[in-house]
């Protein structure tokens, strides 16, 4: 069986009857969930920025972005459908987040590309259909998209980790303790005093020397804006903003009214704190000014 020819059912219609209809239709798709692919909001498993994420799917960046629809065909095979109707997907996601039903059924004319597999983990499956699986390979078809390996550590896992820190900011901030806030005399933007000179014991630089390099790269973003989506800003409560920034081998999470955390490809599973210090506030303010924000 080839790629689905139509998208006929939505998550709101996620019932046994809807799944049976998808199975009977054969080449139609039973929609499970969806995501946005825009400069301000994209699955970070795909890349450090919006153009890189688009390239991972074999499409060019559009100013308005795309919607990603994840579903199963009548055989249970996993498919990712790229559409240009961003508003439709945005409304569907907002409705689901509020616990409301929404039938996501994109017009076939909005479909840009259909790809085998899913680039991220989807927790649900269609009732009444075979278990999710990759479709059989066909000539000239790209390899199936697959979620990152949860047991490994690399760029995708690092970015996902940073996303989790942003979502669980209060928990990570509590681990630092109130005494660490603004300890400018003992710590600078490089981390704990002296940490930038510490090595790993095998002759390689310590992680905080790399963190200092990350902050230098971020200052370079202020001088020369990076690709769209490399720095993103979201509401953080009150006048504060939550910043997410990525670059080669690193990710940053910060609040404009507080401190920051850095994750590195070279420091698996570590979340490195960057105390506020004398220079960090100005850097975060400048990054927020150039960051893309959700519409």
| Per-residue tokens: 31 | 């929609």
Over residues 180-213, the pLDDT tens digits come to 543 232 334 444 433 343 333 344 556 889 999 9
Q: At what angle do helices 207-223 and 280-290 cross, to 10 degrees?
A: 50
Structure tokens at 227: 């690709």
Sheet holding 66-73, edge to edge: 6-9, 28-37, 66-73, 78-83, 111-116
pLDDT at res. 176: 81
| Angle between helices 169-176 and 155-167 in degrees, nearest 10 | 90
Nearest to 284 by CA among 245, 247, 229: 245
Among 30-34, 92-96, 148-152, 186-190, the least confident range? 186-190
pLDDT of residue 173: 93
Of the candidates 190, 214, 230, 193, the one whose C-alpha atom is nearest the C-alpha of residue 266 is 214
Please report, rounded to a whole number, the percentage of residues in the chain having pLDDT higher than 70: 81
Q: So what's the pLDDT on residue 139? A: 83
What value does the mean pLDDT of the chain take?
85
| Single pTM value for the model | 0.83
Give the per-residue pLDDT at 152: 96
Torsion of CA 87, 92, 96, 102, to 10 degrees: 150
**Alpha carbon distance 182, 179 (integer Å):** 8
Which pLDDT score is estimated for 5?
Answer: 53
- 234-264 pLDDT, tens digit each: 999 999 999 999 999 999 999 999 999 999 9
């Amino acid at each position: 069986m080839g790629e689905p020819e139509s998208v006929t059912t939505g998550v709101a219609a996620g019932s046994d009857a809807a799944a049976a209809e998808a199975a009977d239709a054969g080449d139609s798709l039973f929609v499970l969930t969806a995501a946005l692919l825009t400069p301000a909001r994209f699955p970070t498993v795909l890349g450090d920025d919006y153009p890189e994420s688009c390239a991972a799917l074999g499409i060019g960046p559009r100013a308005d972005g795309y919607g990603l629809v994840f579903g199963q065909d009548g055989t249970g095979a996993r498919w990712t459908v790229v559409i240009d109707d961003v508003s439709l997907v945005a409304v569907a996601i907002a409705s689901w987040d509020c616990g409301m039903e929404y039938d996501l059924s994109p017009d076939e004319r909005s479909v840009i590309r259909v790809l085998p597999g899913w680039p991220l983990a989807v927790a649900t499956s269609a009732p009444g259909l075979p278990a999710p699986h990759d479709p059989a390979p066909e000539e000239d078809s790209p390899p199936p998209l697959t979620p990152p390996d949860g047991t490994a550590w690399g760029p995708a896992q690092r970015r996902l980790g940073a996303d989790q820190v942003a979502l669980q900011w209060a928990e990570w901030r509590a681990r630092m303790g109130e005494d660490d806030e603004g300890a400018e005399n003992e710590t600078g933007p490089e981390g704990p005093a002296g940490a930038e000179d510490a090595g790993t014991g095998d002759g390689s630089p310590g992680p905080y020397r790399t963190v200092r390099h990350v902050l230098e790269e971020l200052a370079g973003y202020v001088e020369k804006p990076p690709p769209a989506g490399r720095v993103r800003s979201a509401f953080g409560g009150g006048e504060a903003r939550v910043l997410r920034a990525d670059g080669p081998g690193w990710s940053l999470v910060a609040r404009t009214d507080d401190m920051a955390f850095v994750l590195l490809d070279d420091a698996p599973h570590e979340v490195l704190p960057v105390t506020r210090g004398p220079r960090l506030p100005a850097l975060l303010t400048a990054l927020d000014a150039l960051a893309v924000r959700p519409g």
